[in-house]
């Protein structure tokens, strides 16, 4: 029973149909949560007693930084599944995740620089957290470039999976950099084990934006993976039938 279920889920034809159903159900709550998060973060949340209103950029910066690491782990995990079990759908999810992860990483770096200018007096410092996040962006770009450089999709997927898995070592470095080294970057406030060092009025919009960004990733990666499925399966019968219907 379970073998049949997983075999069906790994079928490009079934995935294409299921993804098409899920995309609007993910996109609508993503939009609603984004609007709610921005409203409560930019309008309702009070100014910070030290940073004033400049702290509000964290409602974009922090979820973007979380997503940059989360997506990389998903990409590496999907790459490993494709590498070990030769599941084509996992390979498609891995490469479809790379541009989205690179975008979130770039957004985290840019918003961090915008916040850093008034707080630190400079756009950039070679801080451990910032430097390791920049390396993450280069890893994403390397995955994208490597995939585009190899014409054989299966060979490209294997090369991408190996690079992604090697780069996973950077994720705990990013996460624990503020604890391992003396850095300018602020320490953890939301993920502390005792209680978050952030007021509820600021925590709620931050979590709303975090969920919204995850939903955004979910529906965009499904859209990109559907395109990848059509490209790889273009010579199969079900894609030709689909093309005739449209």
**Residue 2: predicted pLDDT:** 40
Q: What is the largest CA-CA distance in the chain?
A: 63
Q: What angle do CA 36, 64, 55 make, to 5 degrees?
A: 70
**Residue 192: predicted pLDDT:** 46
**Residue 73: predicted pLDDT:** 98
Chain Cα centroid distance, residue 65: 9
pLDDT above 80: residue 180: no
13: nearest Cα among 239, 243, 244 = 239
The structure tokens listed for 91 are 């390979």
Residues 87, 236 contacting (CB under 8 angstroms): no
pLDDT above 50: residue 157: yes
The mean pLDDT of the chain is 90
Question: With bands split at pLDDT 50, 70 and 90, how would you rate the model's confidence at 193?
Answer: very low
pTM for this prediction: 0.92
**Whose structure tokens read 């585009």?**
148
Other beta carbons within 10 angstroms of residue 196's beta carbon come to: 15
d(C-alpha 133, C-alpha 130), whole Å: 5
pLDDT above 60: residue 51: yes
Q: What 3-state DSSP class applies to 9?
A: helix
pLDDT above 60: residue 199: yes
Between 50-54, 215-219, 231-235, the lowest mean confidence (pLDDT) is in: 50-54
Tens digit of each residue's pLDDT (9 = 90 or more) over 127-143 = 889 999 999 999 999 99
d(C-alpha 89, C-alpha 37), whole Å: 33
**Residue 40: predicted pLDDT:** 96
Packing angle of the helix pair 200-232, 88-120 (nearest 10 deg) = 140
pLDDT above 90: residue 156: yes
Residues 69, 174 contacting (CB under 8 angstroms): yes
Give the ranges where the chain is alpha helix by DSSP (H).
Answer: 2-9, 12-39, 58-85, 88-120, 128-149, 153-167, 170-180, 200-232, 237-245
For 116-133, b/e burial (b = at least 16 CB within 10 A) is beeeeeeeebebbbbbbb
Q: Write the DSSP string, 58-96.
A: HHHHHHHHHHHHHHHHHHHHHHHHHHHH--HHHHHHHHH
Between 9-18, 24-33, 147-156, 199-208, the lowest mean confidence (pLDDT) is in: 9-18
């Amino acid at each position: 029973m379970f073998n049949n279920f997983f075999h069906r889920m790994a079928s490009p034809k079934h995935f294409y149909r299921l993804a098409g159903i899920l995309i609007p159900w993910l996109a609508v709550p993503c939009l609603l949560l984004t609007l709610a998060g921005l409203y409560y973060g930019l309008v309702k949340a009070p100014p910070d007693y030290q940073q004033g209103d400049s702290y509000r950029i964290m409602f974009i910066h922090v979820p973007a930084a979380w997503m940059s690491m989360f997506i990389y782990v998903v990409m590496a995990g999907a790459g490993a599944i494709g590498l070990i079990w030769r599941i084509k759908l996992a390979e498609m999810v891995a490469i479809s995740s790379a541009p989205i992860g690179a975008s979130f990483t770039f957004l985290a770096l840019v918003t961090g620089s915008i916040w850093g200018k008034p707080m630190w007096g400079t756009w950039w410092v070679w801080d451990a957290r910032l430097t390791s996040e920049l390396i993450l962006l280069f890893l994403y770009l390397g995955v994208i470039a490597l995939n585009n450089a190899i014409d054989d999709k299966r060979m490209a997927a294997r090369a991408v999976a190996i690079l992604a898995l090697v780069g996973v070592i950077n994720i705990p470095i990013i996460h624990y950099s503020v604890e391992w080294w003396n850095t300018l970057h602020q320490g953890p406030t939301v993920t502390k084990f005792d209680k978050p060092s952030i007021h509820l009025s600021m925590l709620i919009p931050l979590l709303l934006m975090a969920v919204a960004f995850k939903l955004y990733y979910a529906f965009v990666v499904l859209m990109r993976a559907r395109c990848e499925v059509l490209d790889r399966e273009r010579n199969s019968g079900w894609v030709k039938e689909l093309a005739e219907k449209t």
